[in-house]
Amino acid sequence: MATLKKMKKRIPFGTISITDKSKGLIKDILDSNRVSSGRYVRELEKSFARLIGAKEAVAVSSGTDADALALAVLHDFGAKREDEVIVPALSFVATGNSVLQAGFRPVFVDVEKDTLNISPDKIEAAITKKTRAIMPVHLMGKPAEMDSINNIAKRHNLFVVEDAAEAYGAAYKGKNVGTIGDMAAFSLYVAHIITTIEGGMVVSKRTDFAEVLRSLRSHGRACKCESCVLNVSSGYCDKRFQHGDNQDIRFVFERIGFSAKMNELEAAIGLGNLDRYHDILNKRRENLLYMIEKFREFKPYLYTIEESPHEKIGPHAFAIILGEGAKFSRNELVSYLEKQGIDTRNLFLSMPTQCAGFGYLGKKIGDFPNAEYIGNMGLHVGIHQDLNKEDLDYILNTVREFLLKVK
């Protein structure tokens, strides 16, 4: 059998698909000189809503903005500045950042080590009279326990905003992730299954939420029509001077807003990706399930998240967590994988205790033991559509060789 050194490969974490359709649309957009948010963004929104099974979809400039704007909507529905939003302690830092950007205070709850998701049993103890929402994260595409979360929210009259950044193709008890709470935020970042290079999308079943979102992404303007005729050359809007004392509606600001619009070029990339969505998703799902099955041989030294009968994991990437009895560190494993050409990412951090920016909250190491464990012991590698079985076996063989060296 050839040695790893002789068969060394390069296994990138992510990939991107820029289709011929996208390239053609980009040329048309550039030729038209209409590159700001317009018809192609609207087309992407409508197609995205149909794909997820939502009534409304509003495109924004990043996944972080999608989280932040979804939460900022709540100011129009009774929330106040410095009210609280419950979030899992373990996530990419954008989750916590977005709560602050929306004008709220994050209240962190520990996660479960086997699911990586917020522990429903710990949520109610974190609820106060200032709590306005729960934002579960479907981390690594594994659905959070939405029935429990929604039941808690209903008992306490709270909103539920799903952070579905990594959860394309995920399903929970027959429902698409992103359609189970009041709103959901998706990331369209370059490494994700649907990408606009940068970008995000908020989906909801509520038209009133979508109207506020369209205002928020454009500085809080009173303009919130689904399609803006002023974005079409020589367009005339009969609403423009019908606001109050014939004011120009574009300069009436009803709420604190953001500058978070998606542009036409980004939408063109996304529209091309939507055409390939099911092929990409199916290939990633095939890779994910293969890796989950094969990885069980590495217990108890290493483990990954498992798929339960009531769910489908969205195949974003492949999580690897060190078992409690491991005699090696996460960084030793990462170093070995990287030297063999396997691109890795750490599996995020406990935001309140392992990210310095949240130090002002006064939390200390030990307050969120499960999140901190994953922050120290977790990593993830790619399972994207450009990887084949030979590539996956290379990852598995490399892990196997590492364990033989350190056991």
> Choosing from 75, 138, 192, 380, which is the catalytic residue?
192
Catalytic-residue membership of 192: yes
Same domain, 258 and 305: no
Of 235, 232, 214, give the one whose Cα is nearest residue 224. 214
Residue in the block written with tokens 């950042």: 97
Supply the pLDDT for residue 1.
Answer: 35
Confidence of residue 249 (pLDDT cuts 50, 70, 90): confident
Cα–Cα distances in angstroms (integers) from residue 209 to residues 94, 161, 250, 255, 397, in the given order: 22, 12, 20, 14, 49
- Domain for residue 3, yes or no? no
**Angstrom distance (rounded) from CA 213 to CA 59:** 9
Model pTM above 0.85? yes
- 137 occurs within a structural domain: yes
* Among candidate residues 269, 302, 324, the one where a domain is terminated: 269
Confidence of residue 232 (pLDDT cuts 50, 70, 90): low
Arithmetic mean of pLDDT, 106-125: 98
Count the domains in the chain: 2
pLDDT tens string 297-347: 999 999 999 999 999 999 999 999 999 989 999 999 999 999 999 999 999
Average pLDDT over residues 150-155: 98
Of 244, 269, 294, which marks where a domain is finished?
269
Please check whether residues 37 and 79 belong to one and the same domain: yes
Which residues share a beta bridge with 342? 11
Residues 228 and 332 in one domain: no
Lowest mean pLDDT among 6-20, 55-69, 335-349: 6-20
Does one domain contain both 34 and 149? yes
Please report whether residue 77 resides in a domain.
yes
Query: How many Å apart are CA 253 and CA 221, to the nearest integer?
Result: 4
pLDDT at residue 295 is higher than 50: yes
Q: Is residue 73 part of a domain?
A: yes
What six digits make up the tokens of 225?
């029509």
Confidence of residue 288 (pLDDT cuts 50, 70, 90): very high
Residues 228 and 92 in one domain: yes
Query: Same domain, yes or no, for 173 and 312?
Result: no
Out of 192-201, 222-231, 288-297, 311-320, least confident range: 222-231
- Could you give the CA distance from residue 314 to residue 297 in angstroms, rounded to a whole number? 23
Which residue range is the domain that position 294 belongs to? 277-406
Q: Decide if 7 is inside a domain.
A: no
Name the E strands within 278-383: 302-303, 311-312, 318-322, 344-346, 349-350, 378-381
Judge if 190 and 304 occupy the same domain: no
The residue among 253, 269, 285 that closes a domain is 269
Q: Are residues 173 and 142 in the same domain?
A: yes
pLDDT tops 90 at residue 241: no
Q: What is the CATH number of the domain that holds 51?
A: 3.40.640.10
